[in-house]
A and B are shown apart, each in its own frame.
Chain A
Amino acid sequence: MDALMALWDGAFGSWYAVLSATMVRATPLLLVGLAVALAFRAGVLNIGAEGQLLVGASAATATSLVLTAWPRPLAILVMAAAGALAGAGWAGIAAWLRRRFAVLEVISTLMLNFVAAALVSWLVRGPLQEPTGVYSQSATIPESARWPLLISGHRLHLGFVVGVLAALGAWWILTRTAVGFRVRLVGASPRAATSAGGVNVARTVTGVFLVSGGLAGLAGASEIGGVTWSLYEGLSPGYGYSAIAVALLARLDPRGVIATALLLGALEAGAASMQRSANVPAVLGQVIVASLVLGVLGAQALRYRGLLRRGGVAKEAGA
């Protein structure tokens, strides 16, 4: 009971908990969860958001470091764009491998995650290492590239607003526009999309892949600009993998991603405080999340099997 109280306090117990812990942790989950949800909606199994985030963070850092003299809004815009473009480019490799060589994106994006981690590891010891050369991290980015805080005295930054706007925008595009409809069609039935709709499936898939990578890259830029101000190896505690849970629990609905990202953010923030005050391991939050995902998967599978049975469809037609 103490543990649960601590969990609640850590997540929602005070304005500080909400604005400086829960929502700050939810920000990257929101953007990356959105990246995964969009990709999955089109049937693209992008599990490389982790790598796309890291590459985005690297590009944003590198860009920020040379933007010292720029006016703030412009510097932020440019570093964010650099992050998004780098993430899209990183995803573009997997998209190209799928389109050109039919390489399963599950394998290629997984490989690229490790390459990205190695890249960061090299950058923070080489080209981007801080001037003294002592620590394995980049120099702190200039003031001009730091993302503004939303409420003074709290750590919540611009990234959260960007994430919410992106989620609402993605929802609007998916449900209201022709492009979004094509994305949903390609995910639901590539055969019908081609045959009845004349949709160019390969092009749609590539487009979604790039946008997904771009969002993950933007999440990297947001972490650099809003939270860490410098690049280092442990920048992401597996946001790219937690994002899969965020997306699935939201049932791949962009609006739902806002809610599930907050839920996971709260769980992480609460779990951290639970450990501090009640000595209950923080990773318990992860257990809860993973169990939820498995539960959702199992329930969906059972529902689908029930449908098949009730339908009683015999696929074999006598010939």
Chain B
Amino acid sequence: MSDALVLSDVRHSFGRTLALDNAQCRVRRGTVHALLGENGAGKSTLMRVAFGLLSADGGRLEVDGRPVHFRSSADAIAAGIGMVHQHFLLVPALTATENVALGGRGLLHRARAVARVKAFADRSGLSADPSMRVDQMTVGAQQRLEILRALAHDSRVLILDEPTAVLTPEEGMSLLRWVRGFVDGGGTAILITHKLREALAIADDVTVLRRGRTVLSRPRVEVDEAMLVEAVTGDAASESALALPAPARRPTEPVLALDKIDLIDGRGVTRLRDASLEVYAGEVVGVVGVEGSGQRELLRILAGRLRPTRGRVIAPRRVGFVPEDRLADALVPEMTLTENLVLAEAGSARGRLDWRAATERTAALLVSADVRADGPSALARELSGGNQQKFVVARERARSDAALVVEHPTRGLDIRASARVWDELLRAAREQQLAVVVYSPDLDEVRAIADRVVVCFAGNVRAMEGGTAGSDRASLGRALLGVN
């Protein structure tokens, strides 16, 4: 049996971050190939290279045994590769038929195009209403349409990026059944997923990426759950740069508390279910969870930026919040650091602003938080990512004397800058006695700093027993991946 798609020694970096480090992936024709790994392991990046959306810095690509070079996704489509993106690339205001027809030439015969969509829908078993606009479809229907569109372009290799993440369990099941059928009919499917169970249930072959490298590549029959957990999570845990002792005795009253929280979003999807959490002064609680498991919502409720549908929240009046997208949500890149410091009280300030005092406060903060900048009048965008983040963390520490909520603080930072940011958070808890809640997709990071870890999976929040010591990497990894 020949190979449908082979990626060899693929390298790619985003700025200074190495996303793919000689990654390998061999996909046999007529199989379901599961591509596993944690967030940031390089799965999507590798597949974006395979689909021509990214041009790799190095490595080789073969389709059906022939070496190819894709300059754009149009080349990949022509070579018979289709990709279903995690965030769908459909035009909301157009109908299903029009979305499928997009990118063609010449005349657009409406009746013929509709018939074609119908035919593909019938043949593939993916139901679709050809004349319905995308913005009126359910998420499941949009995904089926994305697949239909790939099939309509004669895709023989289908890449599905986290296809079940946005679906209800029933929709997810039926999608996986469909994928099996597609492969049995001669197609090839690559399934990017975090969910081990899903991979084990459907895949013929499994490849695991960790930190941009291929760490496992075997037929399904040769692996079991334990092997995969180990491969996905690895063993190497980095050491904490700081060894400040955990609080000896827990205070009686929590600073932050959620009691039986439910959150239902605008589309009626339950994002959090019966979630409870207590955070005490002086401790760091780590939150882990794969993308879309409810951790983002959990943090925003704690920070007072989102109101739950049901349940009780206890929080101090002011909570420091470090959002993930710091350049969009935490800083104004074109303003000075002094102005960015005053930003924190912009909503409540009255009358005249004392810029001289603010400049002095900024200068003091730059020293105390070790932010490297050309003084308080430097523009926020002139700082490196690490210094921007240290500045934001220091500002948010000053905002509240009780609690600090932090979302993926090391996104885009190199190891050294990350370590400094973690130090800063640990200090906030130990020296300033703040209740600190941190989300990070990196298990090692969380384990290194958090006193306790809670896991989000599909809207459920579960505390790991026995603190970080008790939550060894394997059991944490299993909880993260929805394996009990």
Answer whether A and B are interacting partners: yes
- Residues of A in contact with B (beta carbons under 8 Å apart): 176-178, 181-182, 184-185, 188-189, 191-193, 195-200, 312-314, 316-319
> In residues 321-373 of chain B, which contact A (Cβ within 8 Å)?
321, 323, 328-335, 339, 342-353, 355
Q: Which residues of B sit under 8 angstroms from A191, Cβ to Cβ?
A: 328-329
Q: Which residues of B sit under 8 angstroms from A177, Cβ to Cβ?
A: 351-353
Closest to B44 in A: A319
Closest to B330 in A: A196
Q: Are B346 and A197 in contact (CB under 8 A)?
A: yes
Q: Which residues of B sit under 8 angstroms from A185, Cβ to Cβ?
A: 332, 335, 343, 346
Cβ of B20 under 8 Å from chain A? yes
Given A316-B14, A318-B20, decide whether A197 and B344 contact each other with a Cβ distance below 8 A: yes
Q: Are B411 and A317 in contact (CB under 8 A)?
A: yes
Q: Are A195 and B305 in contact (CB under 8 A)?
A: yes
- What 10 additional pairs, Cβ within 8 angstroms, besides A189-B332, A192-B332? A176-B352, A178-B346, A184-B335, A189-B328, A193-B343, A197-B343, A197-B344, A313-B15, A314-B15, A319-B45
Contact with A along B304-322 (1 / 0, CB 8 A): 0100000000000000010
Q: Are B40 and A318 in contact (CB under 8 A)?
A: yes
Q: Are B329 and A192 in contact (CB under 8 A)?
A: yes
> In residues 180-229 of chain B, which contact A (Cβ within 8 Å)?
212
Q: Are B412 and A188 in contact (CB under 8 A)?
A: no
Closest to A319 in B: B44
The count of A-to-B residue pairs whose CB atoms sit within 8 angstroms is 93
B110 to chain A, nearest CB (A): 31
Q: Are B40 and A317 in contact (CB under 8 A)?
A: yes
Give complex CA distance A196, B349 in Å. 13
Closest to B323 in A: A195
9 contacts between A and B (CB under 8 A): A177-B353, A178-B352, A189-B331, A192-B343, A195-B329, A196-B330, A196-B343, A198-B348, A317-B14
Q: Which residues of A sit under 8 angstroms from B48, Cβ to Cβ?
A: 316
Q: Are A181 and B323 in contact (CB under 8 A)?
A: no
Q: Are A181 and B339 in contact (CB under 8 A)?
A: yes
Q: Which residues of A sit under 8 angstroms from B349, Cβ to Cβ?
A: 178, 181
Cβ of B43 under 8 Å from chain A? yes
How many B residues have CB within 8 A of the partner chain? 43
Q: Are A199 and B323 in contact (CB under 8 A)?
A: no
Q: Are B342 and A198 in contact (CB under 8 A)?
A: no
Given A178-B351, A196-B344, A317-B412, decide whether A188 and B335 contact each other with a Cβ distance below 8 A: yes
B239 to chain A, nearest CB (A): 25
A259 to chain B, nearest CB (A): 23
Cβ of B19 under 8 Å from chain A? yes
Q: Are A319 and B339 in contact (CB under 8 A)?
A: no
Q: Are B343 and A319 in contact (CB under 8 A)?
A: no
B83 to chain A, nearest CB (A): 14
B130 to chain A, nearest CB (A): 31
Q: Which residues of B sit under 8 angstroms from A197, Cβ to Cβ?
A: 343-347
Given A192-B332, A314-B14, decide whether A176 and B348 contact each other with a Cβ distance below 8 A: no
Give complex CA distance A316, B54 in Å. 10
Q: Are B331 and A319 in contact (CB under 8 A)?
A: no
Give complex CA distance A193, B329 in Å. 8
Give complex CA distance A189, B17 in Å. 27
Give complex CA distance A182, B346 in Å. 6
Give complex CA distance A319, B408 in Å. 13
A290 to chain B, nearest CB (A): 27
Give complex CA distance A129, B101 in Å. 61
Q: Are A200 and B353 in contact (CB under 8 A)?
A: no
> Which residue of the partner chain, among A188, A193, A318, contacts B42 with CB atoms under 8 Å?
A318
Q: Are B346 and A195 in contact (CB under 8 A)?
A: no
Give complex CA distance A244, B347 in Å. 29
A308 to chain B, nearest CB (A): 11
Give complex CA distance A189, B44 in Å. 30
Cβ of B39 under 8 Å from chain A? yes
Q: Which residues of A sit under 8 angstroms from B332, Cβ to Cβ?
A: 185, 188-189, 192-193
A309 to chain B, nearest CB (A): 13
Give complex CA distance A195, B331 in Å. 9
Give complex CA distance A157, B314 in Å. 62
